[in-house]
């Protein structure tokens, strides 16, 4: 566990050192849960977007992409349920003035009890050594059983109070559990209130209530309100999908864990419109397709697990998360939701406009059902970075930090290096650079020893380094070094393009 926490710290500092991610407005000490993508981070992020866009939009005949505005008519959020129900229960400590999510405080309390149980198990494991039967111990030890029972009771009370919006009940639970504020150590709590997660602002030209508009908390609604525009102008036939990549904003109360939970983040969402009754078929289809998309990156299948929801959001009749083993443990990376006809029906009702599809095969009008896939771009970024980052011990005893990024996602595909800064080598290297940069994002590097330059490229995930030496001037060959194997091979300059293409081409990834 400790090792994994170290990994997050290492990834954060590596990301900063090499220009992937910076704390936002750092010269003013930063802004909580807000980050900027640097020169390499924006390349990596763009490549993740491309992978998604190519695979979802360009490789599918029946999916098209849009780019809707962040601001939408305020009634959108009434219709979607976000004004009334997009809430987190929050509680303040009067002494420290710190604000917490009430459910998170309770969950952390439960986690402490779990740790007690684990300690008990560890102690017994030591005591009984080889003779220890963990399952039996957990099933019979009175301390463990008592604590398990406690956890169950707390979870039940939390679920019931939250489901019934019984905020006094939630507070009573916090009091009964004697939960203290981690900062002040006191139990001097305010009432629990519902806190809407949407950011609002004012529209300049209108006065009064109508002036309040929101920063969209999800990109999905921009797709729903454009459903008929796209269907008609694109002559789309059901089943079909509309995809979008864009910013979303949520005033998260507990925002932490680097770019995992931010207040401004990016989503890659696709809404797939289907015949009523077909939704479970498509839900299962997209669950499998999305998991395969993640696994194709080759980070390792062990990083993924599926989590089917028991408690469903108000709009869903089935929902599942693809979870990723982040440095903080398994957490949601993508959600696949069967959203029924909830959103389109709501928009019909609130707008007074029909949002229906005429199905020529059935000779019938209906409001389509929707299956949604929604993945956080920033969470993808963190998943890719943290699974690719390694400190390797080499045979000669030295160490190297390497980002073994999937080649298609790497910011630079190849670094071109002259062995020395003289004898016409830089000129020759520049010629190669100027040719290859039409096809690949390349970097030129002539500073420091070759060994140091290789390490620098390893640290930013560049799959290939090309070294131009004196032999190059004689026979137009160069050495090309592979990031992962560190092996070098001599190839003709004329073969470079095909060689690099063989590794970094989107085709390799998309055909999987
Ligand atoms: P969580 O339970 O972690 O808050 P959610 O269930 O609210 O997430 P959805 O509303 O399903 O998330 O949003 C879809 C995707 O958007 C998530 O799977 C996640 O990858 C991403 N996402 C949601 N909230 C954030 C955030 N605050 N920062 C970064 N990414 C986010």
Q: Mutate which of 253, 266, 267, 269 to test ligand 1's pocket (most atoms within 8 Å of Cβ)? A: 267
Quote the CA–CA distance of 371 and 354 in Å, as a whole number: 20
Least Cα distance to 373 among 291, 297, 303, 300 occurs for: 291
The answer for residues whose C-beta is within 8 angstroms of residue 205's C-beta and 6 or more apart is none
Q: Write down the pLDDT at residue 78.
A: 94
* The pLDDT of residue 208: 63
Strand-pair category, 264-274 with 442-444: unpaired
Mutational pocket test of ligand 1: of 218, 219, 265, the residue with most ligand atoms within 8 Å of the beta carbon: 265
Residue 41 has phi, psi (to 5 degrees) of -60, -40
Per-residue confidence (pLDDT) for residue 512, from 0 to 100: 85
181-192 pLDDT per residue, tens: 999 999 999 999
Q: How far is Cα 453 from Cα 447, in angstroms, rounded to an integer? A: 7
pLDDT band at 387 (very low <50, low <70, confident <90, very high): very high
Query: Considering Cα of 13, then 17, then 20, then 24, what sign does the dihedral take?
Result: positive
Q: Is the CB of 378 under 6 A from ligand 1?
A: yes
Q: Is 250 in the pocket of ligand 1 (CB under 6 A)?
A: yes
Kindly indicate the confidence band of residue 207, based on its pLDDT and cuts at 50, 70 and 90. Answer: low
313-323 tens-digit pLDDT: 777 889 999 99
pLDDT at 395 over 50: yes
User: Bridge-partner residues for 35, per DSSP?
Assistant: 23
pLDDT of residue 1: 41
CA atoms within 13 A on the CB side of 247: 11
| pLDDT, tens digit (0-9, with 9 covering 90-100), for 347-357 | 999 999 999 99
- State which ligand 1 atom lies nearest to the alpha carbon of 255: 27
pLDDT range class, residue 151, cuts 50, 70, 90: very high
Residue 56 DSSP one-character state: I
Question: Residue 378 gets which letter from DSSP?
Answer: H
Per-residue pLDDT for 25 more than 80?
yes
**Tokens found for residue 84:** 């009334």
Average pLDDT, the chain: 93
- Ligand 1 centroid to residue 374 C-alpha, Å: 8
Q: How far is the C-alpha of 215 from the C-alpha of 198, rounded, in Å?
A: 7
What's the CA gap between 102 and 167, in Å, rounded?
9
Q: What is the pLDDT of residues 445-469, one digit of tens each?
A: 999 999 999 999 999 999 999 999 9
What is the DSSP secondary-structure string of 358-388?
EETTTTEEEPPEEEEEEEEHHHHHHHHHHHH
- Give the mean pLDDT of 81-92: 90
Q: Which of 287, 331, 286, 323 minimizes the C-alpha distance to 305?
A: 323
Atom 14 of ligand 1, residue of closest alpha carbon: 374
Ligand 1 atom nearest 334 alpha carbon: 18
pLDDT band per the 50, 70, 90 thresholds, residue 312: confident
Phi, then psi, of 76 in degrees rounded to 5: -50, -45
Q: What distance in Å separates the CA atoms of residue 402 and residue 111, rounded to the nearest whole number?
A: 34
Coil, strand or helix at 329: strand
Cα angle, residue 87 at apex, residues 86 and 92 outer, rounded to 5°: 160
Peptide bond into 239 cis (omega under 30): yes
Using an 8 Å Cβ cutoff, are 20 and 41 in contact?
Answer: yes
Can you name the residues that pair with 89 across neighbouring β-strands?
194
State the pLDDT confidence band at 10, using cuts at 50, 70 and 90.
very high
Which of 89, 320, 314 lies closest to 191, judged by CA?
89
Q: What is the DSSP string of 193-250?
A: EEEE---EEE-TT--SGGGEEEB-S-SHHHHHTTHHHHHHHTT--SSEEEEEEEEEE-
Whether residue 292 is predicted with pLDDT greater than 80 in this model: the reply is yes
Measured CA angle at 243 (ends 239, 249), to 5 deg = 135
Distance, in Å, from the CA atom of 221 to the CA atom of 200, rounded to the nearest integer, reads 16
Angle CA 80–84–87, to nearest 5: 105
Report the atom number in ligand 1 closest to the C-alpha of 380. 20
pLDDT at residue 212 is higher than 90:
no
pLDDT at 423 over 90: yes
Mean pLDDT of 239-267: 92
pLDDT (0 to 100) of residue 104: 86
248 CB within 6 A, ligand 1: no
The per-residue pLDDT for 488 is 96
Q: Please report the pLDDT score of residue 2 as a whole number.
A: 45
Q: What is the pLDDT of residue 205?
A: 66
pLDDT over 50 at 479, yes or no: yes
Residues of the chain with pLDDT > 70, as a percent, come to 97
Tokens 């604000």 sit on residue = 99
Q: What is the pTM of this model?
A: 0.88
């Amino acid at each position: 566990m400790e090792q994994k926490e170290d990994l997050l710290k290492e990834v954060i500092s590596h990301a900063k050192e090499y220009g992937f991610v910076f704390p936002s407005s750092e010269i003013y000490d930063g802004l909580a849960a807000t980050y900027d993508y640097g020169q390499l981070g924006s390349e990596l992020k763009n490549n993740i977007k491309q992978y998604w866009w190519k695979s979802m939009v360009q490789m599918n005949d029946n999916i098209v992409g849009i780019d809707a505005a962040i601001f939408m008519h305020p009634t959108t959020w009434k219709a979607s349920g976000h004004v009334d129900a997009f809430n987190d229960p929050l509680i303040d400590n009067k002494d420290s003035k710190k604000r917490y999510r009430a459910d998170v405080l309770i969950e952390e309390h439960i986690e402490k009890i779990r740790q007690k149980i684990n300690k008990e198990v560890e102690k017994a494991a030591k005591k009984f050594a080889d003779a220890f039967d963990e399952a039996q111990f957990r099933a019979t030890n009175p301390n463990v059983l008592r604590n398990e029972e406690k956890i169950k009771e707390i979870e039940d009370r939390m679920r019931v109070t939250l489901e019934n919006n019984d905020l006094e009940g939630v507070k009573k639970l916090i009091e009964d559990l004697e939960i203290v504020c981690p900062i002040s150590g006191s139990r001097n709590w305010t009432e629990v209130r519902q806190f809407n997660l949407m950011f609002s602002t004012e529209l300049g030209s209108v006065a009064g209530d109508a002036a309040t508009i929101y920063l969209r908390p999800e990109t999905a609604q921009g797709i729903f309100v454009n459903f008929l525009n796209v269907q008609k102008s694109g002559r789309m036939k059901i089943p079909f999908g509309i995809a979008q990549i864009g910013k979303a904003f949520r005033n998260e109360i507990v925002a932490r864990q680097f770019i995992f939970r931010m207040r401004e983040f990016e989503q890659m969402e696709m809404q797939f419109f289907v015949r009523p009754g077909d939704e479970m078929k498509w839900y299962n289809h997209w669950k499998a397709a999305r998991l395969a998309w993640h696994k194709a990156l080759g980070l390792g299948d062990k990083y993924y697990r599926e989590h089917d929801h028991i408690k469903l959001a108000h709009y869903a009749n089935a929902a599942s998360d693809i979870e990723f083993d982040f440095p903080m443990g398994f957490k949601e990376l993508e959600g696949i939701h069967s959203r029924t006809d909830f959103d389109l029906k709501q928009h019909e009702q609130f707008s007074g406009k029909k949002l229906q599809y005429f199905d020529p095969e059935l000779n019938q009008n209906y409001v389509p059902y929707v299956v949604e896939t929604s993945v956080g771009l920033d969470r993808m970024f963190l998943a890719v970075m943290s699974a690719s980052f390694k400190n390797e011990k080499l045979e000669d005893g030295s160490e190297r930090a390497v980002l073994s990024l999937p080649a298609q996602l790497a910011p630079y595909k190849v670094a071109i290096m002259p062995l020395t800064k003289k004898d016409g080598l830089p000129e020759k290297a520049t010629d190669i650079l100027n040719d290859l940069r039409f096809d690949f994002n390349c970097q030129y590097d002539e500073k420091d020893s070759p060994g140091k330059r290789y390490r620098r490229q390893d640290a930013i995930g560049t799959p290939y380094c090309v070294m131009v030496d004196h032999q190059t001037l004689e026979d137009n060959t160069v050495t090309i070094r592979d990031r992962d194997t560190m092996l070098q091979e001599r190839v003709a300059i004329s073969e470079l393009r095909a060689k690099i293409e063989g590794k970094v081409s989107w085709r390799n990834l998309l055909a999987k």
